[in-house]
A = this chain, B = another copy of it.
Amino acid sequence: MRTTLRDVAELAQVSPKTVSNVVNGYIHVRKETRERVEQAIAELNYRPNLSARSLRQGRTGVIALAVPELDQPYFAELARHFVAAAAGHGLTVLVDQTEGARDRERLVIGGIRDQLIDGLVLSPLALTAADLDERTDATPMVLLGERIHHGPADHVVIDNVRAAREATEHLISLGRKRIGAIGSQKVAAGVTARLRLRGYQQALKSAGVSADKNLVASATRFHRADGAEAMELLLAQKPLPDAVFCFSDLLALGALRTLASHGIRVPDDIAVMGFDDIEDGRFSTPTLSTISPDKEQLAAQSIELLNAQLNGSAADRGPQEVYTNYELIARESTIGR
């Protein structure tokens, strides 16, 4: 048998309530009593039963972070900041992987872990507005990335259109004239891709740079392999592009790989721009220019929003939309060295 609060109380010759007070750091306990209780706790190696506490308090102190794939560096880095930020609020993070599959994302918002978690942060990939409207579960939730619909859900977003425009303008400012893009997605789920594409197109248009549809390559996912493939396609175009904006760093790293295989020099022949600022890009050859979202801020903002909902201070506040900062970081893949 595990030792319970009752056992401690008996050994310390006090009531269970007093033990509870000590465990929870309640102020008004006589020093003498406290010490006696603490000694009993140590002696019995007592640990509070968190299930019982949760049952009583109605909160578990656990929040879920649901991402498509934990081993995509962007999400791994995000998860790292989340776990740290949550710890700062006395919360523990439980991780779900959705694989970017709509049914798994629906399960997550539907409350599959309900009653185990106090709140949920989800980075959706395939979820639709209808899925959100159908949601009946009342667990506090914060969505990462693009606002999918205008229902009552808090969002933490980055201004993808503007960031993509700036990325493209950076390439234009280097004198590039045939600028390709990698990462467009036709599927309904590709909200982020569409916004980044829009930013890219806006930049070309306002700079008067011609937009060649053949220079826009799609990518099923945002992985290295997709970037490598897409780059192969762009290399089949004549004349060749002299710059490429990739909608994620992984895509860009894949593209760099293809360029290296073909002996094409970066940035001399083709400049490459990424998005996400994952650590890989800081050590690739060449190092990767990118848009760097403030991931720490993103995690902190999400936890803040969640906490507001948990504390009820979100009551008549309406759904929030919070923007995360980002900056453009120019490295070798665009400006050389």
Q: Which residues of A contact B (CB under 8 A)?
A: 2, 45, 47-52, 54-55, 60, 62, 69-71, 73, 76-77, 79-80, 83-84, 92-97, 111, 113-116, 136-137, 224-225, 228, 253-254, 256-257, 260, 279-280, 282-287
The answer to whether B45 touches A224 (Cβ under 8 A) is no
Residues on B with beta carbons closer than 8 Å to the beta carbon of A71 = 73, 76-77, 79-80, 279
Q: Considering the chains assembled together, what is the distance between the CA atoms of A79 and B83 in angstroms?
A: 14
The answer to whether A55 touches B45 (Cβ under 8 A) is no
Once A228-B283, A257-B285, A283-B224 are accepted as A-B contacts, the answer to whether A47 and B77 lie under 8 Å apart by CB is no
CB<8 Å pairs between A and B, sample of 25: A45-B136, A45-B137, A47-B111, A47-B114, A48-B115, A50-B113, A51-B54, A51-B115, A60-B116, A71-B77, A71-B79, A76-B79, A92-B96, A94-B94, A224-B279, A224-B282, A225-B283, A228-B283, A253-B280, A253-B283, A256-B285, A257-B283, A260-B285, A260-B286, A284-B285
The answer to whether B45 touches A49 (Cβ under 8 A) is no
Q: Considering the chains assembled together, what is the distance between the CA atoms of A55 and B2 in angstroms?
A: 12
Residues on B with beta carbons closer than 8 Å to the beta carbon of A54 = 51
- With both beta carbons as reference points, the residue of chain B lying nearest to A114 in the complex is identified as B47
Tell me the minimal C-beta distance from A208 to chain B in angstroms.
34
Residues on B with beta carbons closer than 8 Å to the beta carbon of A83 = 70, 95-97
Residues on B with beta carbons closer than 8 Å to the beta carbon of A285 = 256-257, 260, 284-285
Residues on B with beta carbons closer than 8 Å to the beta carbon of A224 = 279, 282-283
Q: Considering the chains assembled together, what is the distance between the CA atoms of A287 and B258 in angstroms?
A: 11
Q: Considering the chains assembled together, what is the distance between the CA atoms of A92 and B64 in angstroms?
A: 10
Q: Considering the chains assembled together, what is the distance between the CA atoms of A49 and B287 in angstroms?
A: 50
- With both beta carbons as reference points, the residue of chain B lying nearest to A227 in the complex is identified as B283
Q: Considering the chains assembled together, what is the distance between the CA atoms of A284 and B260 in angstroms?
A: 9
The answer to whether B256 touches A50 (Cβ under 8 A) is no
Residues on B with beta carbons closer than 8 Å to the beta carbon of A115 = 2, 47-51
The answer to whether B70 touches A76 (Cβ under 8 A) is yes
Most central of A2, A62, A111 by chain B CB within 10 Å = A62
The answer to whether B97 touches A113 (Cβ under 8 A) is no
Closest 4 pairs between A and B when the two form their complex, measured CB to CB? A76-B76, A51-B54, A260-B285, A50-B116
The answer to whether B97 touches A80 (Cβ under 8 A) is yes
The answer to whether A113 touches B92 (Cβ under 8 A) is yes
Q: Considering the chains assembled together, what is the distance between the CA atoms of A285 and B111 in angstroms?
A: 44
Tell me the minimal C-beta distance from A279 to chain B in angstroms.
7
The answer to whether B70 touches A60 (Cβ under 8 A) is no
- With both beta carbons as reference points, the residue of chain B lying nearest to A337 in the complex is identified as B261
Q: Considering the chains assembled together, what is the distance between the CA atoms of A141 and B70 in angstroms?
A: 23
Residues on B with beta carbons closer than 8 Å to the beta carbon of A287 = 257
Residues on B with beta carbons closer than 8 Å to the beta carbon of A92 = 94, 96, 113, 116
Given contact pairs A55-B55, A73-B73, A228-B283, a sample of 20 additional A-B residue pairs in the complex whose CB atoms are under 8 Å apart: A2-B115, A45-B137, A47-B114, A47-B137, A48-B115, A51-B51, A51-B115, A51-B116, A70-B80, A71-B79, A71-B80, A73-B76, A83-B97, A92-B116, A93-B95, A94-B94, A253-B280, A257-B283, A260-B285, A284-B285
